[in-house]
Amino acid sequence: MEIRTLRYFLAAAREENLTRAAESLHVTQPTLSKALKNLEDELGRKLFVRHSFSISLTDEGVLLRNRAEDLISMADKIEKEFVSLDDIAGGELYFGLAESYQIRYLAEEIRRLKQRFPSLHYHITSGDSEQVLEKLDKGLLDFAVLAETPDYSRYQAIPFPEDDDWGLIVPVNDPLAHKERITPEDLHGLPLFCSEQSWNQEIRTWASDQFGEMHLEGSFRLSYNGSVFVSAGLGYLLTFRNLINTSQESGLKFIPLFPSLKTRLYLIRSRYQHMTPIAGKFLEQLTASFAGKHPE
């Protein structure tokens, strides 16, 4: 199975039309059709359902698409890494980021690095810890930002300068809005929004024996989406401070939790992955910078 054939397959899956896919690949439709038929013969599975004017993936096709996307991403990353070995002015960096106001520290370090190495290109994906760790472990990322304590046997980790404070996002006209802090008892029976991972870890620990009285109405990987549901009057969002706009015009308010709940953010890299020259320079710069920002 060739990388080129997987690129053909992904183009066809994306366009759902062989003519458009062939045009995007700059090949003839017969060439594309033959390549896809040979791929199906090689795997012994039908990958597409052919309709009159379109195609769609079979269940086996969906499985291959998920695997092929990772393989192509890895192939592209390897190619760029080797090209960048001789690029003294830059290179490629790949980051997977959890949500946090502290990402501003990372952005500042990337800005500084780009001033030093103008040819630097960086790629950002976002998600919760489970998502970014999966990509890091597959070698698709150079660094990940994790909102939980990392496994030091597998990852090199640098803590961010601050902790993230947890709180509750409520509408300003809600009865809870007059409170200065939110306790587990305040949340009994209320429709709550939170990431599923944080609900089962940080929030469960914080609420302790009160956790059973709390109700997860819906889970969101992105806090912004949760805040939209809060604005619609559908519930309350548990999230970090400064992630959601709570200005006077927003109609929303952030109230800190009590007892105080904090989460430490970490920049991590795999101990088993080769580090490119530009990744090494970034890690060196960030390590020195963060060391100067941490309180004594």
Query: pLDDT, tens digit, for every residue of 79-92?
Result: 766 665 555 567 89
Q: Are 7 and 69 in contact (CB under 8 A)?
A: no
**How would you label 139-172 residue by residue, b for 16+ Cβ within 10 Å and e otherwise?**
bbbbbbbbbbebeeeebbbbebebebbbbbbbbe
CA distances from 86 to 83, 90, 250 (A): 7, 9, 49
| pTM, rounded to two decimals | 0.71
- pLDDT tens figures, 52-69: 888 999 999 998 988 888
**Mean pLDDT across the stretch 220-232?**
95
Q: What share of the chain is helix, strand, coil (3-state, %, to 5)?
A: 45, 25, 30
Is the pLDDT reported for residue 294 higher than 70?
no
- pLDDT tens figures, 133-153: 989 998 889 999 999 999 999
What is residue 296's predicted lDDT score, i.e. its pLDDT? Answer: 45
Is the pLDDT reported for residue 201 higher than 70?
yes
**Rounded CA separation 22/109 (Å):** 41
Tell me how crowded residue 114 is: count the other CB atoms within 10 A of its CB: 15
- pLDDT tens figures, 157-169: 999 999 999 999 9
**Mean pLDDT across the stretch 22-47?**
91
